[in-house]
């Protein structure tokens, strides 16, 4: 009895300190439409352009993570790809789609007027009025989630509300169908902390295999990599995606699902 109480106390303490680490250190929690937003300004302002705003909520509803982060090659850390106007114009990065065929065209060398509507759909920091997609209208009948975008993306995909494209002609290579790996449990190292059910099947829909293996998880053997909640909060392992784009770490129960016995 005393022992159980002690563990419960320890657990509560952990919960409190971890939650504080989450809410205390970080800046204000992003609003649903801001979650997964990336601002790009490696070159824009220096060239007299307004910085670029990229929204995951719109793009992830249309395309898989794998398509952009493996086939097209965007980095998994904001600002590190180093996208240039010239890359886009030659059909790389944003220009893989924003080429006037798959989507409206990206950069040109001749700057029309700085606030030309052609440019300002992307070069839009601080000017939301120039966007044509409205978050609320676009997502109004999506299944709701508690955190992040306020959307249950897993359900949105499973129920066919969205069907993210995983292949882009001229960019992707035709691949054999993936052999999907078994789902498994991860056992948290603290007694009383609910176990985690990790679904390979559900993750593969979005991420293929290559987005996780071998860069984020070596994946040779379950249990070979030791990861702790602290490392996850630091943006490693599960935290690579579950702090910025997939549902955030605040949603403890979505990972720690298995009941404690």
Chain residues 104-163 in contact with ligand HEC, contact rule CB under 6 A: 104, 106-108, 111-112, 116, 118-119, 121-123, 131-133, 153-154
- Number of neighbouring beta carbons within 10 Å of residue 68: 21
Nearest Cα neighbor of 66 from 198, 165, 178, 199 is 165
Q: Is 49 in the site for ligand HEC (CB under 6 A)?
A: yes
Burial of 28 (0-12, 13-18, 19+ CB in 10 A): exposed
Q: Is 50 in the site for ligand HEC (CB under 6 A)?
A: no
Please state, in angstroms and rounded to a whole number, the distance separating the CA atoms of residues 19 and 15. 6
Q: Is 68 in the site for ligand HEC (CB under 6 A)?
A: yes
Q: How far is the CB of 128 from ligand HEC (least distance, A)?
A: 9
| Binds ligand HEC (CB under 6 A): choice among 33, 35, 40, 139 | 40
Near ligand HEC in 4-23, by CB under 6 A: 14-15, 18-19
Please state, in angstroms and rounded to a whole number, the distance separating the CA atoms of residues 181 and 190. 27
Tokens of 213: 């293996």
Q: Determine the length of the chain.
A: 261
Place of tokens 């992707």: 172
Q: Is 77 in the site for ligand HEC (CB under 6 A)?
A: yes
In this complex, which beta carbon is closest to ligand HEC, that of residue 1 or of residue 220?
A: 220
| Binds ligand HEC (CB under 6 A): choice among 35, 50, 57, 65 | 65
Distances (CA, A) of 212 to 72, 152, 195, 218: 16, 21, 21, 8
Q: How many residues of this chain interact with ligand HEC, rule: CB under 6 A?
A: 115
Q: Is 61 in the site for ligand HEC (CB under 6 A)?
A: no
In this complex, which beta carbon is closest to ligand HEC, that of residue 5 or of residue 253?
A: 253
Q: Is 251 in the site for ligand HEC (CB under 6 A)?
A: yes
Using the rule CB under 6 A, give the single segment among 1-9, 25-33, 46-54 that binds ligand HEC.
46-54
Please state, in angstroms and rounded to a whole number, the distance separating the CA atoms of residues 46 and 52. 13
Q: How far is the CB of 57 from ligand HEC (least distance, A)?
A: 10
């Amino acid at each position: 009895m005393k022992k159980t109480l002690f563990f419960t106390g320890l657990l509560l303490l952990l919960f409190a300190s971890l939650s504080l680490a989450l809410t205390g250190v970080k800046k204000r929690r992003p609003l649903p439409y801001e979650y997964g937003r990336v601002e790009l300004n490696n070159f824009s302002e220096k060239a007299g352009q307004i910085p670029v705003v990229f929204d995951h909520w719109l793009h992830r509803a249309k395309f898989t993570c794998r398509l952009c982060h493996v086939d097209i090659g965007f980095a998994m850390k904001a600002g590190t790809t180093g996208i240039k106007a010239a890359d886009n114009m030659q059909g790389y990065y944003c220009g893989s789609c924003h080429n006037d065929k798959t989507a409206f065209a990206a950069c040109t060398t001749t700057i029309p007027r700085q606030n030309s509507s052609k440019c300002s759909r992307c070069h839009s920091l601080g000017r939301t009025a120039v966007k044509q997609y409205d978050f609320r209208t676009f997502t109004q009948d999506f299944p709701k989630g508690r955190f992040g975008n306020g959307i249950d993306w897993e359900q949105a995909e499973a129920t066919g509300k969205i069907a993210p494209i995983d292949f882009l002609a001229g960019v992707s290579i035709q691949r054999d169908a993936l052999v999907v790996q078994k789902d498994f449990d991860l056992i948290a190292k603290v007694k009383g902390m609910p176990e985690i059910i990790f679904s390979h099947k559900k993750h593969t829909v979005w991420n293929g295999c290559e987005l996780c293996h071998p860069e984020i998880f070596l994946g040779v053997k379950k249990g070979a990599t030791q990861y702790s909640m602290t490392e996850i909060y630091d943006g490693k392992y599960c935290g690579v995606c579950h702090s910025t784009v997939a549902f955030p770490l605040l949603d403890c129960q979505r990972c720690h699902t298995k009941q404690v016995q």
